[in-house]
Chains A and B, each alone.
Chain A
Amino acid sequence: MESNTGPASSDRVRIVRSNTKLIEGVLQEVLEEAQNERAARETALSAALKRTLKTDEAVVPPLPDIPNESLPTPNVSDTVAVMETPEKPAPIALDKDEIRTFKKPPESAWGKFKGLVGRGIETAREEFKHTTLGRFAASVERAGVRFLDRRFIDKAEGKFAKANERATKTEGRFTRHDAAVKGLGAEIQKLDETVKNFEARGLLDEKVRAKAARERASLEGRVEKETRKREAARVALQAHNTSKLRWENAIKDRARGATSRVENRVAPHRERAAELSAQCEQFRDEIKAHGEVRDSVAQELAKIERELENARFSFERSPLKKEITAIRAELKRADEAIMTRTAELGKFEGRLGKTTGQVEKWSMLTGDLERAASKERSYHIAPKAPTVTPSYEHRAIDTTSTPAGAEHIPTPAPESGETIKDVTPEEYVTIWNALYGSDEPIDLRIFDKIKGASFQFQAVEKMIANELLNRAPLEARTNKGAELVERAKAVRRLIASL
C-alpha cells in the first residue's frame, strides 16, 4: 500500500513497504478504525461547528501534502522496533485523497469540540446564576461569613464556658485542700501546745514524747500531701485561666476583626442608601406637590364649567371649548405622569429596601459580634503560692528605670483602680509565651544585657513591645502597636488573677 502521509506517520509507511501479511492485516484494521472514527467525528463536529463556527476553513487549516520523495527508506529493523514499542501509539496511514478530504486534524478539532462543550458549561453556569436556585446559592455563599464567624464564636463561647466549669470545680478542690492544710496546721499547733503542756506538768516521758512525735510526723505528712494537692489545684486553676483567656482573646480578636472588616466595607453603602432614601422622599414630595397643583386646576376648571353652564347662550361657551379641552388633556397628562412616576418610585423604593435590608443584616451581625467582643467574662482567682523560689535572680524593683529608647513604645495605660503587680521578666515571659508563644515567642535572653537590673512592670512590657516592634515590618508597626497594647492588657489581667 503506497501512500502519502504526514511526517508523523513515516513509521507506518515503513510497515506498509515491508510486504508482511501480518502487518498489512494490522494496517488494514487500523485504517478501517481510523476511517470509522473519522466519519463519526466529522458527523459530530459538523453538527457542533456549524452552529458556532461561521468560517470553518479559516479556523482549521488543511494538512500539508507530503511528497513521496521525503519518505525514508524502509528498514526491517525499524519495523521490528515499531512492533516492539506498544506504548507508542501507531500513526494512522491515510492516502493523499483521504488527507485532502479530512481537513480537520483530529486532535485540534477534538480540542475545539471540547472547547465548545466547555463554553456550553460556562453558558449553563451563567444561566444558572439567574435562576431562583442560583440566586439562593449565591446569597448563601455571600452570607458565608456570617455563619462562619458566628459558628466560631459560638464554639469559642462554649469552650470558654467549659473551661470555666472546670475552673469552678478546680477552685472547689483548691478550697478543700487549702482548708485541709489550714486545719492540719491548726492540729499541729494544738499538738505542740499539748506537748508543751504535758512537758510543763512533767507528764512527757520518752514513750509519750515518741508517740507525740509520731503523731506530729503523721500530721506533717498529711499537710505535705494536702499542700501538694492544693498547689496542683492552683497550677490547674492558672492553666484554666490561661485557657479561658485564650478562648476569650480568640473571640475578641475574631469578633473585632470581622466587625472592623464588615463595618469598613458596609458603612459607605449605608450612607449611600440613606442618601438615596432621602432623594426618594424628596421625589415623593414632588409628586405629591404636582398632584396638588393638578387638583387645584381641576377644581378651578370645574368651577368655571359650572359658571358657564349658567350662561344664557350656548355661543358664550364656544370660544372656551378648545382651551377647556386642552386643560383636560393636560390634566390627563398630569394623571399619567403622577401614576407612572409613583409606580417607578415604588420600584426604586422596593429595590432600595432590599439593599438596605442587606446592609442591615450585616449591621446586625456586627452588633452581635461587638456584644461578643465586649462581654465581661469572669476569672477564678487562684491565690498565689505561699513560697516561690524564682530561678531568675530577682533583685529589688527599681521603680524609675525604663529601657533606653523605649519611651514611645506602646503599652496600655493603667485603668482606673488597676493595681499593677511587679513581676520578674521571667514570670512575664512565661505568661506571654503561654498566651502568644505560638506566633510570637519571647526569648528571655532579650533581658540578658540588663540582667540583674530591676524593673518596673511597665518597663518589662516596654522591653517586650520594643522587641516585637523591631521584628515587625516598618509599614505594619502602627497596627502592631495597637495589637501589642491589647496583648499586654490580657497579660496584665492574667497576672492580676494569679
Chain B
Amino acid sequence: MNDTTTDQAKAAADASKRVADLLATIRSANDAFEKISRARMDAIGAGLKTLEADMTGTEDELAAYGRDMSSDLEQETAQLDTESESIERGEAADMAL
C-alpha cells in the first residue's frame, strides 16, 4: 500500500514537472517566434516596398527612354527606307538600259 502511494506521489510530481516544462517550452517558443517573425516581416515588408517602388520607377524610366527613342527610330527608318527605295529605283533604271 505504501509503495503504491509512493509511486502515485512520484508520478504526480513527475507529471507536474513535465507540465511545467511543457509550459516553459511553448511559452518560450511562442515568444521567440513572435520576436523573430516580427523582425522577418518588417524586413521583408520594407524590402518589398522599396523593390516595388524602384521597379515602378525603372519601368517608368524605361518607358520614357522608349518614347524618347521613337522619334529617332522613325527618322532612321524613314532614312533607310528612302535609301532602299533609291537603290530599287537605280536598279530599275539599270535594268531598263
Contacts and interface: CB of A to CB of B under 8 A. Distances in A.
Contact of A312 (B8, B15, B18, B88): B8
Contact of A316 (B8, B36, B69): B8
A145 B65 contact: yes
A196 to B, nearest CB: 35
B1 interface: no
B84 A243 contact: yes
A265 B84 contact: no
Given A145-B66, A148-B66, A159-B81, A304 B15 contact: yes
A170 B70 contact: no
B83 A246 contact: yes
A286 B18 contact: no
Interface string B33-61: 11011001101110110011011101111
B69 A148 contact: yes
Given A142-B63, A159-B80, A355-B55, A294 B29 contact: yes
B45 A348 contact: yes
B80 A247 contact: yes
A307 B15 contact: yes
A250 B76 contact: yes
Contacts of B62: 142, 145, 261-262, 265, 362
A170 to B, nearest CB: 7
Contact of A297 (B26, B54, B95): B26
A266 interface: yes
Interface residues of A, number: 79
A334 B20 contact: no
A427 interface: no
A300 interface: yes
Q: Report whether over half of chain B's contact residues are helix, strand or loop; otherwise say mixed.
A: helix
A24 interface: no
Given A262-B62, A279-B40, A438-B79, A327 B26 contact: yes
B91 interface: yes
B84 to A, nearest CB: 5
Interface string A158-171: 01001100100010
A193 to B, nearest CB: 32
A337 B30 contact: yes
Contacts of B22: 297, 300-301, 304, 327
B29 A293 contact: yes
Contacts of A326: 23, 27
Given A279-B47, A341-B41, A319 B33 contact: no
Interface stretch (A31-39, A98-106, A111-119, A231-239): A231-239
A242 B54 CA distance: 43
A290 interface: yes
A351 B55 CA distance: 12
B67 A265 contact: no
A170 B67 contact: no
A280 interface: yes
Interface stretch (A73-81, A182-190, A211-219, A270-278): A270-278
21 contacts: A149-B66, A232-B94, A236-B90, A236-B91, A236-B94, A239-B91, A243-B84, A269-B54, A269-B55, A273-B51, A286-B37, A294-B29, A297-B26, A320-B16, A323-B19, A326-B23, A327-B23, A330-B26, A333-B30, A334-B29, A359-B55
Given A232-B97, A254-B73, 10 more contacts: A143-B59, A229-B97, A239-B91, A250-B80, A254-B69, A276-B48, A279-B47, A294-B29, A297-B29, A355-B51
* 10 nearest A-B pairs in the assembled complex, by CB-CB distance: A145-B66, A232-B94, A142-B59, A236-B91, A330-B26, A239-B87, A148-B66, A290-B33, A144-B63, A297-B26
